[in-house]
Structure 1
Amino acid sequence: MLVKTTDLPLCRSYLSCVTSVRAALIALMVLTVLAAPAQAAGTIRFYAIVAAGGSVDAMARIVGEKFGPLVDATVVVENKPGGGGNLATQTVARAAPDGLSLLVSGNNHTSNLSLYKETGYQMDDLIPVAELMRGPAVIVVAAQSPYQSFDQLLADAKRRPKEISFGTAGIGTASHFAAEYTFFTAQVKMTSVPYRGSGPSLTDLLGGQIPVAVSSLVAAMPLIKAGKLRALAVTSLKRWPGAEGIPTVAEFGMPGFEQLSWIGLFAPKGTPAATIERYSQAVKKVLTDPDVQRRVAGLGGVAGELGATEFKKFVDQDYVTVQQIVKSVGMKPD
């Protein structure tokens, strides 16, 4: 920016002239700072609540890859499993509200408050930024399993109450809730084996350590497509786009049944509203990218559509729904 001499006030003395010039220079410096391009935010950490390989991890990496350049930052995904997501959530809840520590979490963000006596956080400790993805859970077995269909599994479970175990991504996770609600509705009793993410549970399923797993479709889809897993049913109301060959739980005598998982981005309480809005808009731009939508669909999900305001309303309602399910199913706090 140029300052013309005609823009400077007339001087009546040496002192007044020096004072006027100094004031003009200060004004120029301020304008220069305001006009300067925004500095890079630095390194933003996406704390994923599960181990590498699960749906939360996958979405953190897909979104983070394109989110960073939009906010002039480098995004690093840090997997912090433990406590069904409580460890990562506590970390972000206690972080400085500077926009550099964000949480990538799912349904257990709301469910843990009903399932754990101590979570180390409250709902209002984090601010919803944006919905990243939503999709169904899927009940899967290894390709060599004797269970060829979901009704075969249910029939065996009725004959042998609590003898058949199923793996989930951890207590309070979307897969845990979907499993408990599914088997409760089907009136069978099975034994839950919580893991630290869908990845580890599916690894043990393939290794024969557990006979059944309930996973996000996102995490299981690559193994289903590879022929290593057999999908018995999905928890969406209708057959899911891209997975039309997998029947729904509702088709097995449970009409109207649906239990979807979601993944979202959260920031610590106290993060400036301007930062929340900037990040929310950046996520929206990422999720409307055709390449990102293709990748999410390839994993078995659909890209999220909710910005900060809408996502907060969604999360608040989900918390109410979770409490109702916990009461109906009889799930106990850990």
Structure 2
Amino acid sequence: MNRMLARWTMLACVLWMGQLHAQPSAPAGNAGKLVRFIIPASPGSQGEALTRLVSEKFRDITGHAVVIDNRPGGNGVISTMAALNAPADGTTILMVSSSSMFLTPMTQDVPYQPSELRPLASLSRHTGVLVATPQSGIRQLADVAQAGPAQAPVAVGTYGSLFRVALAVLGERLGLNVVPYPGPMQTLNGTLSGSHPLALVDLGSALPLIRAGRLHAVATTGAQRHAALPEVQTVAEAGFPGFEIRTSLGYGVSAKTLDAVAQALEQALLQSIQDPAFRRAVGGMDGVEITGLPAAQFRQFLDDEKSKLTGYLRVTGGKIPQ
């Protein structure tokens, strides 16, 4: 049995590594494989845009055909289960985050364990920004506090488990009524239409509207001020010391995937993310910090994020707005 497993492992390594050295001009799918990238977000999100670029380089490097499969909803549960229910043969790659890996399983009943996923490589980090309509009169977090608990809670739109945790922490003092949306575009549309005066979204999605004067940046969620908005305070500077929440994206596969296959996928993904053409393509994307960490470092990073999120959940009593 062990001898047979060793043979299969060696065969998988040979097949995948052979494809990693395919010429960029090789026709898509020349190995008869179709690799599916599952994205837990709607079309148009930065995560999807980045993955489309990554998948193109991945295709060139490996010679495999690729397809993007959008599976939004359920705070990442739908996409995660789609990946875990697929054959663990290296043909399904899941976009993962600290939310899908830890936060969602910590705050709701899910049909999977984080240990069922194997991180492969990190892709990027994204800072959040709290924005307000010009008509709201809200220019800084102190304005939200004045408009909050003494009157009706201030409505704020957002999406995703991570940003809802951020608002739960802020809401302990500011008084907030969270309005959930499936993604950043829907959240921003709700804000612009007057459904709520505030929104917490990723900076890249909001920056064009901020620059156009249609929204005002109130505070960013990183540890330091963002280079794109150096005049805007962080939440930590505005009265919440130590506060930092940023979305971290990367890729993973089923933990049942053979080591040799997972390692080959990791190598191909890292080559794709480090490719100069990919870096040039994402250079024009606002608010994106490309990380490109290998599996071991990505796993350690996710563990550190879990510890931080656990601390935030203690503040909220383990509850986040739904």
Paired residues of 1:53 and 1:219 also in contact (CA < 8 A):
no
Match of 2:103 in 1: 111
Deviation at 1:296, TM superposition (A): 5.5
Distance 1:297 1:157 in 2: 37
Larger gyration radius, structure 1 or structure 2: 1
Decide whether the 8 Å contact of 2:32 with 2:64 is kept in 1: yes
Shift in Å, 1:327:
2.0
Q: How does 1:45-124 map to 2 (within 5 A)?
A: 45-109=36-100, 110-116=102-108, 118-124=109-115
3-state secondary structure, aligned to 2:174: coil
Partner of 1:169: 159
Q: Displacement, 1:63? A: 2.1
Q: Which amino acid aligns with 2:314?
A: K
Please, which of 257, 268, 293 is the counterpart of residue 243 of structure 2? 257
Structure-1 residue corresponding to 2:118:
127
Query: What are the Cα deviations for residues 231-265 of structure 1, in whole angstroms up to 9, with x where unaligned?
Result: 11101121112332322112212333222221111
SS where residue 216 of structure 2 aligns? strand
**Structure 1 residues 254 and 322: alpha-carbon distance in aligned structure 2, compared to 1, 3 A threshold:** closer
Residues 139, 217 of structure 2: 8 Å contact kept:
no
1:286/1:154 CA distance change after superposition, 3 Å: farther
TM-score (norm 1): 0.80
SS at 2:285's partner residue? helix
Measured in 2, the distance between the counterparts of 1:70 and 1:143 equals 47
Q: What code does the residue aligned with 1:115 have?
A: T
| Superposed CA offset, 1:24-64 (max 9, x none) | xxxxxxxxx99x96453622221111212333323322322
Which of 230, 243, 256 is the matching residue for 1:244?
A: 230
For residues 244 and 293 of structure 1, do their structure 2 counterparts lie closer, same or farther at Cα, with a shift above 3 Å needed?
Answer: farther
Change (3 A) 1:258 1:155: same
Distance, in Å, in 2 between the alignment partners of 1:88 and 1:326 is: 24
SS for the counterpart of 2:232 is coil
Residue-by-residue CA offset, 1:253-304 (whole Å, 9 max, x unaligned)? 2333222221111111211222222222222223333453452563202101
| Aligned equivalent of 1:137, options 123, 128, 132 | 128
Decide which moves more: 216-225 or 134-143.
Answer: 216-225
| 149 and 37 in structure 1: CA distance in 2 versus 1, 3 angstrom threshold | closer
Aligned-partner residue type, residue 155 of structure 2: S
* RMSD, matched Cα: 2.5
Unpaired segments ≥5 residues, structure 1: 1-32
Structure-1 residue corresponding to 2:31: 40
Structure 2 unaligned residues grouped into runs of 5+: 1-13, 20-29
Tell me what 1:24 maps to.
Answer: none
Where 2:124 maps in the other structure, the secondary structure is strand
In the alignment, the residues of structure 2 paired with residue 218 and residue 94 of structure 1 have an alpha-carbon distance, to the nearest angstrom, of 32
Is residue 2:265 matched to residue 1:279?
yes
Distance 2:18 2:239 in 1: 60
Structure 2 contact 219–233 (Cα < 8 Å) conserved: yes
What is the aligned residue count? 295
